[in-house]
Amino acid sequence: MKMPISEIADRYSIALLKRDRANADNQVELDTLYTELDNYASSMEFVHKLKEVNGKIWDLESDIRKGKEAELGLEEVGRRAIAIRELNKIRVGYKNEMVKIYNEGFEDIKMNHASA
């Protein structure tokens, strides 16, 4: 099964963040994903939106991923978890919009979940 454009755009935005923030040597990945994106009109608009929201999620997760929960305190970890949940709702919304526009893939539907 071919990967839907919404997933390609999301992966591409994350690959861009890896290159920009972690100096990852992932040009082959970027080129491969871009080749697919180039087949869809206006897909780069979604990439820019996804990169922005994924970047904000990364910023909030950064210290948690580094194991600095004790330094942050439980209240701050909880605040960040809620903010990440809200940003992820935006991220899923962009991906679902792409599913509708390009008629490809499946909508991400959360059931009995606060982010639904």
What range does the domain containing 90 cover?
5-102
Q: How far apart are CA 75 and CA 73, in angstroms?
A: 6
CB 58 within 8 A of CB 69: no
Q: Is residue 110 a part of any domain in this protein?
A: no
Residue 77 counted as domain residue: yes
Average pLDDT over residues 20-46: 96
pLDDT reading at 82 higher than 70:
yes
Question: What is the per-residue pLDDT for 65?
Answer: 85
Q: Would you give the DSSP letter of residue 7?
A: H
* Structural domain contains residue 115: no
The answer to the question of residue 111 being in a domain is no
Q: What pLDDT, on a 0 to 100 scale, did the predictor assign at position 87?
A: 97
Number of domains composing the chain? 1
Q: Is residue 108 included in any domain, yes or no?
A: no
What pLDDT shows up at residue 115? 45
